[in-house]
Structure 1
């Protein structure tokens, strides 16, 4: 069996003649945190959407746990254990934190959104939902509507709903985007906590987050892989410094 849980070969995507992603090879090792970074317009979001099947590639192949998933739908890859979060928090705002997690648990167990029928359908998921909320530091907010949570705590709730789906690969899209420094610290600590026994691929713009969390980093520029390695090697790469950070090495 391959050491890689997710493999992309020659991944490309064109939009009316413009190639947003060109020949990207990516291998995400089982049990690692792998970051995808790059300057604005580098193709990170397009690549992420290709991997999670929200876009179909113009060329290339994607395999998850050794199985070709190139033609699958987003729901199809999610059912196989690839579950993504979004840059904008995606929770039901007027439901409580507990209710949001219970919905995810019901869906993970094959429910078809029959939760609209009422409380009795979901109450059997209470214990597991409360445990997940505790895992992400929201045990004191179980009864709070998601809309009333701070932005950072909404993101923590989204991670709880992602965990409820029991992913073998978690894909996090800009998990600290728009956060205060304090919230960034909390989310970084949370990702460290939940990484045990899991593989995580994330798109992230905050280099302090990347340096503190990532085992391996892939740098994109103009739709191509510019460099790959650990943070020390990537941050010392002159092409990365020029393309991603300019010429000021102090920022690396």
Structure 2
């Protein structure tokens, strides 16, 4: 049997009568990179918000490692090992890159962020923080405030803080959004490295990135699953081609 780490059964979300996600049944296999794609308004980000409980579903179930997490809080889900990034980079702008990663590492102490503790106590995390910054290729910027980093390096920093939480599964919301060609290639390689030994579910508009990275793809349209399979299969699916016509992503 397939080793499924994340499964949804009939996942649905309605907003005052408008159904944004309808009966989505998804199965993400452990150790894979699974992409969720679709034209604008397809329900991808809503689906992400449901999976990580930033939104409550109207119907259906979410199972993570076989456990029903449909009513769990975002913090509970993160503690279980499923951690997400956001489409807009979420780092502390006026803290250095090192300090940002150090804060994430403090989670190991029981979710207590000791902003008021002495520098000596906080420095215990510096070695691990530098290893993570090196892993994402921005160690040389450890003393630079996050607000001064380029967009691509901010995204790399966010990935470092996500790794600091030691996730079993990572949910990446458009990790390449707004990047130039050079940054896209660098972050794509970084995602590939980060995926070793983990499971990744990502929303991404850049189809060349999806083709290169993904083991399996789920295509959403109007809140429903339109097609699933590897890139070759979904890219030739007539319904997928029709859904992308005129959307600017074909």
Q: Same fold (TM over 0.5)?
A: yes
Q: Provide the residue aligned with 2:41 in structure 1.
A: 41
Aligned residues between the structures: 250
| Dislocated runs of 4+, deviation >3 Å | 245-248
Q: Residue deviations 1:144-197, cap 9 Å, x none?
A: 111111000000000000000000000000000011111111100111111110
Question: CA separation in 2, counterparts of 1:109 and 1:244?
Answer: 47
Give the direction of change, closer, same or farther, for the CA distance of 1:247–1:131 in structure 2 (3 Å limit).
closer
> Does the 8 Å CA contact 2:39/2:247 hold for their aligned counterparts?
no
Give the C-alpha shift of residue 244 in structure 1: 1.9
TM-score normalised to structure 1 length: 0.96
Q: Provide the residue aligned with 2:161 in structure 1.
A: 161
Q: Provide the residue aligned with 2:6 in structure 1.
A: 6
Give the C-alpha shift of residue 2 in structure 1: 5.9
Q: Provide the residue aligned with 2:143 in structure 1.
A: 143
Give the C-alpha shift of residue 112 in structure 1: 1.2
Q: Provide the residue aligned with 1:25 in structure 2.
A: 25
Q: Provide the residue aligned with 1:229 in structure 2.
A: 229
Q: Tell me, what secondary structure is at the counterpart of 1:116?
A: coil
Consecutive unaligned residues in structure 1, runs of 5 or more: none
> Does the 8 Å CA contact 1:241/1:247 hold for their aligned counterparts?
no
The alignment's C-alpha RMSD in Å is: 1.5
TM-score normalised to structure 2 length: 0.97
> Does the 8 Å CA contact 1:108/1:164 hold for their aligned counterparts?
no
Q: Tell me, what secondary structure is at the counterpart of 1:112?
A: coil
> Does the 8 Å CA contact 1:101/1:161 hold for their aligned counterparts?
yes
> Does the 8 Å CA contact 2:10/2:25 hold for their aligned counterparts?
yes
Give the C-alpha shift of residue 117 in structure 1: 2.8
Q: Provide the residue aligned with 2:170 in structure 1.
A: 170
Q: Provide the residue aligned with 1:79 in structure 2.
A: 79
Give the C-alpha shift of residue 115 in structure 1: 2.7
Q: Residue deviations 1:17-58, cap 9 Å, x none?
A: 000000000011000000011001111111110001100100
Give the C-alpha shift of residue 239 in structure 1: 0.4
Question: CA separation in 2, counterparts of 1:178 and 1:50?
Answer: 24
Give the direction of change, closer, same or farther, for the CA distance of 1:114–1:215 in structure 2 (3 Å limit).
same
Question: CA separation in 2, counterparts of 1:111 and 1:119?
Answer: 18
